[in-house]
Amino acid sequence: MTDIARAPTPQPIDLLLSARWVVPVEPAEEVLEHHAVAVDAGLIVEVLPAAVADAKYAPRERVRLPDHALLPGFVNAHTHNPMILLRGLADDLPLMTWLREHVWPVEARVMGPGFVRDGVELAIAGMLRGGTTCCSENYFFPDVQAQVYRQHGFRALVGLPIVEFPSAWAQTRDEYFDRALEVHDRYRGDALVSTSFAPHAPYTVADAAFERIRTLADQLDLPVHLHLMETAQEVEDSKREHGVRPLQRLQKLGLVNDRLIAVHMTQVTDSEIATCAEAGVSVVHCPESNLKLASGFCPAEKIRRAGVNLALGTDGCASNNDLDMFGELRTAALLAKGVAGDASAFAAAFALQAATLNGARALGLGERIGSITAGKRADLAAVNLDAVETRPLYNVISQLVYAASRRQVSDVWIDGKRKLAAGELVDFDLAGVLDKAHRWRDRIAGTRCTPMS
Amino acid sequence: MTDIARAPTPQPIDLLLSARWVVPVEPAEEVLEHHAVAVDAGLIVEVLPAAVADAKYAPRERVRLPDHALLPGFVNAHTHNPMILLRGLADDLPLMTWLREHVWPVEARVMGPGFVRDGVELAIAGMLRGGTTCCSENYFFPDVQAQVYRQHGFRALVGLPIVEFPSAWAQTRDEYFDRALEVHDRYRGDALVSTSFAPHAPYTVADAAFERIRTLADQLDLPVHLHLMETAQEVEDSKREHGVRPLQRLQKLGLVNDRLIAVHMTQVTDSEIATCAEAGVSVVHCPESNLKLASGFCPAEKIRRAGVNLALGTDGCASNNDLDMFGELRTAALLAKGVAGDASAFAAAFALQAATLNGARALGLGERIGSITAGKRADLAAVNLDAVETRPLYNVISQLVYAASRRQVSDVWIDGKRKLAAGELVDFDLAGVLDKAHRWRDRIAGTRCTPMS
C-alpha cells in the first residue's frame, strides 16, 4: 500500500456559524466575506473562511447565515433598565419637572424588588431583539438585577448605587456601602455578571462617599460608573458649591483614572478632554437622552479624536424611550457630524466600534468581549441585510449604521448560547413578561387600561 | 299592528376599519379609543365609535385592528427617490467631495428613464412598509416618476425640475420648461399625481428662470419646491453674487408666498422666519440629512412657534440613508429640543402633525389628505403597538413618536385601496424590484457582487 495524503480528522466543536459577512470590529472597517466563526465552550475559537471551516471543524450545531452580517453583540454602556416600566409616562417636559413631578413620585410608590425584576426582564427581551448582549446597569436593587441577568444568561455590569438620600434599597450612606459590598461578594468571579460602583452624580454624592469609593474600587478592582457634567447647571452648581468644575473635584478625590466611566459629558471642555485621554477615562455618550432632555451637545468627535475611549449608551427608557443600539449609534454618527460641522466626522466604522468594542473596554471587559476575535467570549448578533430597507448594498458597514434597523436582528448568542433564533426569543416567557409590564402600567397609571385585544 | 322602532337599514360602504386607537392628528393630541373609520369610494365618510359603526354601516370589507393605532399616512415632503439606488454608495464625506467625486459622476453614467423607474419602485416598497402614503419628489424624469407612482396607486407631488445645466432629461433652459409643461399637462386633474415646479436651488437657477417659474406657477396654480439656505456657504455665495441673502433674492423675484415649499432652511434668521410666517411659506425640515451632511441646524422650534407650516422630509436615500418617516419625526422631535435648549420643545403630537397634516398642507393637499377627517381621501396607516418595544403603554402618541419603529406598520391604504396587508405589500412584484436594484448595484459599483444567498 502506498501512503496517501489524509485530511486531518475534523475537530469537534460546539457551534459553527457561517455568515455572508463577518464584521469583527477589530480591526476597524474589516468585512470578511463568506467567513465562519468557530465556537466552543462559549469561546470564539477561530474566524476563518467558511469553506476552510467546513473541512476543519465537526460542529455539534451549525448555523448558516446566508444573507446576514455577523457582528459582536452591542454593549449598551449606560442604562437604567427597570425604568422601562415608565416608558412614555411623561415626555416633552423640562428635566426638573419630569423628575420631581413624574419620575420620583412614581418611583417612591413602586420601586422595590418586584419592579426591578419585572423591568429588567422586559428590558432583556428588548435588548436581545435589538442585538444587545451586554449592558452597564445603574439602578437600585442591584442584587435583583444581577439575579435576573444571570438567570437569563445576559451579560451585565451591575452598578452598586451610592447616593446621599434614602431609598427602598438603603437608608444611610453606610447601608449603601454595606449592601454594595454584599452584592459584589456574591457575584465575584461570575461568568456573566460583574459589578461596578455607581455613585449617582457629583451633585448627589458627598466627598466622603467618593473617597470611600476610590479606596474600595482600587482594592476590589472595580469600575466607577458616574453621570458627569450632564448639564450646564451641574457645572455651575459645582463651581458655586465646591469652587471647581465637577471633573476637577473628582481629580482632587483621585477618581479620574482608567476605572472611571464618565456618562454624558455634554459640558466637557477641550482641556478636560485632554485630561480624560491622559488618565484613560472612558466616556459614555448618550446622544438621544441628551437631545430629549435638552442637556447639551457632547463633543463626541473631539473626544474620539483625542483618543479617549468613547462608548455609547441609550440611558433609561424613561428618557429615550427605547433600548435600541442601532438607533443610538446612528444618532451618534449623525449628531457628531452636525456638532463638529464636518460630514466626515464619526464615520460608520467608528460608530460600530463605539457600540461594541469601546463599550466593552469602558466596562473593563475589553479582553473578553466587544469584537469577533479568537479567545473572546462568543457574544454575537446576526443582522439579516436581505430587506427592502437595506437594498441595494454597496458597503456593509454603512448599511448597518445608516440604513438597518433593530428589527433586522435575527439571531443572538451570549457566551456561545443562543438567545434569539430567527427573531424569536429562546427559552423566554415573553407573554408572562408582557403581562407583568401591563400590570405595572395599570398600577402606575392608577387606572384600569382595557386589554389591548 | 303597532308601530315599532326600527333600526335604520345599515348603509353599504366599501370599507370599515375598527381600531384600538384612532389618531386623527386633527385636532392635535386627540386619541380616540375603539373607534372606526368608514370609507367609501376612497373617501373617509365618518369617524365614529366602533360599536356605533357596526350598527350603522354594512361594509363590503371590514378590517379589525385590535392592537393598532390608525394614523393618517405619512407625507414625506422632500425626497429624491431614484437616488435610493445609490444608498450607501459613499458616506462620511464632505458635501462637495460626495457630490463631485461620487454622486454626480455616477448619475452622469446611469441616470435615465430606467434608473428613475427602478429607483422609484424600490422607494415605493420602502415607503409603504414604513407607513408613508405620499411624497414630494424632486429629480429628473418626472414623466417616468409620475407614471410609476400612478401605476402603483401611490400619491405624489412630482417636481418639474428646472436647473441651469444640461442633463439626460433636458439640455437647455427652454427645454426644461417645455418638458415641465408637458408633464404638467399630462397629469392635470389626476387623482393621485400632481406636479410642482422644482427649481433646484438659488445657486443653480438664474433670475430669468425664477421669473418664468413665478409667472407659470401663478397661472397654473402650482407649488414651488426649492432647496433653500441649506448651508452657510450658500448664504455667503448669494451675498457675494447677488448682494442679498437667498430669501431676499426670492422676495424680489416674487416667489416668497404661500406656494413656496422651502426645504432645509438651516440658516434662516429670526426675521426671515417672521417673513415666512407672514407670507405663508411652508418649510420642510430634513433633520437627518442636515446632520449627515453637516449642513447646520434648522431652528425647527422657532419656526413652529412663529406659526410657519413646518413639514418633514427624509431627503434622498443617498444622504440619509433611508425613507423612514418614523425615524425622521423622532429625530426631528429630539433634535429640536437640543437646538432649542428646551425639553418641552417640539412635543410628540406636533412631530406627528409635521409628518402628516403639515406635509399635506405644504404640498397644497391639506384639504384632501393629512388627517383622519370626514371628507378627506382615505390615506391611512395602521401601527401594531402590541410589541415588546412599545410596552408598557401610557400614551399612544408618545409611543408612536419615541418608541415605535417603521417595522410595526402593518397595514396601509391609499385613496381607500389597501397597499400593505399584515406587513406584506399588496399586488407588488417585490422580488422583481429587488432584483433590478441588485443589477443597478452591480452596474454602478462596476463589479459583480456574488448573490446574497
The candidate with the shortest Cα–Cα distance to B157, out of B42, B82, B79, B211, is B79
List of long-range contacts for A276-279, beta carbons under 8 Å, 24+ apart: A276/A247, A276/A303, A276/A306, A276/A308, A277/A306, A277/A307, A277/A308
Determine contact: B405 vs chain A, CB below 8 A.
Answer: yes
Same domain, A247 and A356: yes
Same domain, A29 and A80: no
Task: Compute the CA torsion angle B332, B333, B337, B342 (nearest 10 deg).
Answer: 150
Q: Cβ–Cβ of B392/A320 closer than 8 Å? A: no
Same domain, A397 and A275: no
Q: Are B371 and B30 in contact (CB under 8 A)?
A: no
Q: Cβ–Cβ of A92/B290 closer than 8 Å? A: no
B-contacting residues in A 50-69 (Cβ below 8 Å): 66-67
User: Residue B218: CA atoms inside 13 Å, Cβ hemisphere, count?
Assistant: 10
Q: Is B131 exposed, middle or buried (0-12, 13-18, 19+ CB in 10 A)?
A: buried
Q: Are A120 and A154 in contact (CB under 8 A)?
A: no
One-letter amino acid at B349 equals A
pLDDT at B4: 56
Most A CBs within 10 Å: which of B100, B293, B391, B399, as the mutation test of the A interface? B391
Determine contact: B111 vs chain A, CB below 8 A.
Answer: no
A438 is a domain residue: no
B437 is a domain residue: no
Q: Is the pLDDT of residue B3 over 70?
A: no
One-letter amino acid at A270 equals D
Q: Are A57 and A41 in contact (CB under 8 A)?
A: no
Residue of chain A nearest B349, judged by CA positions: A92
Inter-chain CB pairs, A–B, below 8 Å:
217
Q: Interface pTM (ipTM) of the complex?
A: 0.96
pLDDT in tens, B238-273: 999 999 999 999 999 999 999 999 999 999 999 999
pLDDT average, residue stretch B134-138: 98
Please give the mean pLDDT across all residues of chain B: 95
Alpha helices in A173-312 (DSSP H): 173-187, 207-220, 232-242, 246-252, 270-279, 287-292, 300-305
Same domain, B214 and B237: yes
B453 is a domain residue: no
Most A CBs within 10 Å: which of B339, B383, B396, B402, as the mutation test of the A interface? B402
Q: Cβ–Cβ of B392/A438 closer than 8 Å? A: yes
Task: In whole angstroms, give the CA distance from residue B419 to residue B421.
Answer: 7
Residue at which a domain ends, from A337, A362, A387: A362
Q: Could you please report the per-residue DSSP string of B103-140?
A: IHHHHHHH-SHHHHHHHHHHHHHHHHHTTEEEEEE-SS
pLDDT in tens, B290-344: 999 999 999 999 999 999 999 999 999 988 999 999 999 999 999 999 999 999 9
Same domain, A187 and A323: yes
Most B CBs within 10 Å: which of A87, A419, A434, as the mutation test of the B interface? A87
Q: pLDDT band at residue A184, thresholds of 50, 70 and 90?
A: very high
Q: Cβ–Cβ of A438/B388 closer than 8 Å? A: no
Q: Cβ–Cβ of A402/B292 closer than 8 Å? A: yes
Kind and range of the H or E element at A53? helix A50-56
- Range of the structural domain that residue B153 is part of: 74-362
Q: Is A237 exposed, middle or buried (0-12, 13-18, 19+ CB in 10 A)?
A: middle
Q: pLDDT band at residue A403, thresholds of 50, 70 and 90?
A: very high
Task: In whole angstroms, give the CA distance from residue B68 to residue B385.
Answer: 6
pLDDT average, residue stretch B133-145: 98
Q: Cβ–Cβ of A398/B88 closer than 8 Å? A: yes
pLDDT at A76: 98
Q: Cβ–Cβ of A87/B392 closer than 8 Å? A: yes
Same domain, B64 and B97: no
Give percent of chain A with pLDDT exceeding 90. Answer: 93
Number of domains in chain A: 2
Q: Cβ–Cβ of B67/A453 closer than 8 Å? A: yes
Residue at which a domain ends, from B362, B392, B409: B362
Q: Is the pLDDT of residue A256 over 60?
A: yes
Determine contact: B345 vs chain A, CB below 8 A.
Answer: yes
Same domain, B95 and B183: yes
Which CATH number is B117's domain given? 3.20.20.140
pLDDT at A319: 87
A441 is a domain residue: no
User: Residue B104: CA atoms inside 13 Å, Cβ hemisphere, count?
Assistant: 10
Task: In whole angstroms, give the CA distance from residue B224 to residue B359.
Answer: 14
Q: How many helices (H) and strands (E) does chain B have?
A: 17, 16
Task: In whole angstroms, give the CA distance from residue B390 to residue A406.
Answer: 14
Q: pLDDT band at residue A96, thresholds of 50, 70 and 90?
A: confident
User: Would you give the distance in Å from CA B281 to the centre of its chain?
Assistant: 17
Q: Could you please report the per-residue DSSP string of B85-106?
A: GGTTSS-S--HHHIIIIIIHHH
Q: Cβ–Cβ of B324/A389 closer than 8 Å? A: yes
pLDDT in tens, B352-410: 999 999 999 999 999 999 999 999 999 999 999 999 999 999 999 999 999 999 999 99
Q: pLDDT band at residue B6, thresholds of 50, 70 and 90?
A: low
The reply to whether omega before A49 is within 30° of 0 (cis) is no
The candidate with the shortest Cα–Cα distance to B405, out of B351, B291, B328, is B328
Same domain, A163 and A50: no
Determine contact: B79 vs chain A, CB below 8 A.
Answer: no
How far is the alpha carbon of B85 from chain A, nearest alpha carbon, in Å?
A: 6
User: Residue B206: CA atoms inside 13 Å, Cβ hemisphere, count?
Assistant: 7
pLDDT at A5: 59
Same domain, B215 and B310: yes
Chain A contacts of B338, Cβ < 8 Å? 290-291, 294, 296-297
B-contacting residues in A 419-448 (Cβ below 8 Å): 430, 434, 437-438, 440-441, 444-445
Most A CBs within 10 Å: which of B285, B317, B389, B425, as the mutation test of the A interface? B389
Q: pLDDT band at residue B95, thresholds of 50, 70 and 90?
A: confident
Determine contact: A49 vs chain B, CB below 8 A.
Answer: no
B442 is a domain residue: no
B5 is a domain residue: no
Determine contact: B96 vs chain A, CB below 8 A.
Answer: no
Handedness of CA A145, A147, A153, A158 (dihedral sign): positive
pLDDT at A450: 39
A351 is a domain residue: yes
- According to DSSP, residue A103 is labeled I
Q: pLDDT band at residue A99, thresholds of 50, 70 and 90?
A: confident
CA distances from B225 to B207, B367, B376 (A): 16, 19, 24
Q: Cβ–Cβ of A403/B290 closer than 8 Å? A: no
Most A CBs within 10 Å: which of B334, B406, B412, as the mutation test of the A interface? B334
Determine contact: B418 vs chain A, CB below 8 A.
Answer: no
Q: How many helices (H) and strands (E) does chain A have?
A: 17, 16
Same domain, B61 and B80: no
Q: Is the pLDDT of residue A7 over 80?
A: no
Residue at which a domain ends, from A321, A344, A362: A362
Chain A contacts of B94, Cβ < 8 Å? 342-344
Same domain, B358 and B403: no
Cell 397629469, residue? Answer: B187
B436 is a domain residue: no
Which CATH number is B63's domain given? 2.30.40.10
Q: pLDDT band at residue A1, thresholds of 50, 70 and 90?
A: very low
Same domain, B287 and B323: yes
Determine which of B182-196, B206-220, B245-259, B436-450 has the lowest per-residue pLDDT on average.
B436-450
Angle at which helix A113-129 crosses helix A430-445, to 10 degrees, equals 130
pLDDT at A174: 98
Q: Could you please report the per-residue DSSP string of B275-291?
A: HHHHHT-EEEE-HHHHH
Please work out, in degrees rounded to the nearest 5, the angle formed at the alpha carbon of residue A226 by the alpha carbons of A220 and A232: 155
How far is the alpha carbon of B222 from chain A, nearest alpha carbon, in Å?
A: 32
Q: Is B271 exposed, middle or buried (0-12, 13-18, 19+ CB in 10 A)?
A: exposed
Q: pLDDT band at residue B450, thresholds of 50, 70 and 90?
A: very low
